[in-house]
Amino acid sequence: MFPVAAMTWIEPVDGDVVLSVRVQPRASRNEVVGMHGDALKIRLTAPPVDGAANQALVKFVAKRLGCGRSAVAIEHGFSGRLKQLRIRDMGVDEASRALLAGRG
C-alpha cells in the first residue's frame, strides 16, 4: 500500500467517487505507481493519440475497481495528463483500497 497522508485525490460526490489522477502514457506497463502531488499517478502503455490513453485509463481503472467501464467516466482533462474521473455507485473506502492495493 502506498503511504497517503491525506486522501485529497479521492472524494465522495452524490453517491459516486471523484478521483484526481495523473496519467503517464507510453509506459512499459499499466500500473498505479503512487502519488504525484494531490493526484494518484497511473502509468499506461497506450500513447496519447486519438483518445487511446483515455480509453486505456477507463479500462484499467474499471478492471482495478471490479466494475464495468460504463461506471467510469472522465469528467475533466480529456487532453491533458491531469484528469478527473467519476466512478458511479462506489464508496471512497472501496475505491481507495482497490486502487492502492498492490501494484500493476
- Spell out the residues 6+ positions from residue 72 whose beta carbon is closer than 8 angstroms to its own: 58, 61, 62, 65, 85, 86, 87, 88
Domain membership of residue 26 as a residue range: 10-100
> Is 43 a member of any domain?
yes
| Domain of residue 35, CATH code | 3.30.1200.10
CA distance 93 to 89: 12
> Is 15 a member of any domain?
yes
Per residue in 48-57, pLDDT tens? 999 999 999 9
Number of domains in the chain: 1
The residue among 79, 66, 8, 77 whose CA lies nearest residue 39 is 8
Judge contact between 30 and 13, C-beta under 8 A: no
Judge contact between 22 and 36, C-beta under 8 A: yes
Residue 1's pLDDT band (cuts 50, 70, 90): very low
> Is 36 a member of any domain?
yes
pTM above 0.85, yes or no: yes
> Is 25 a member of any domain?
yes
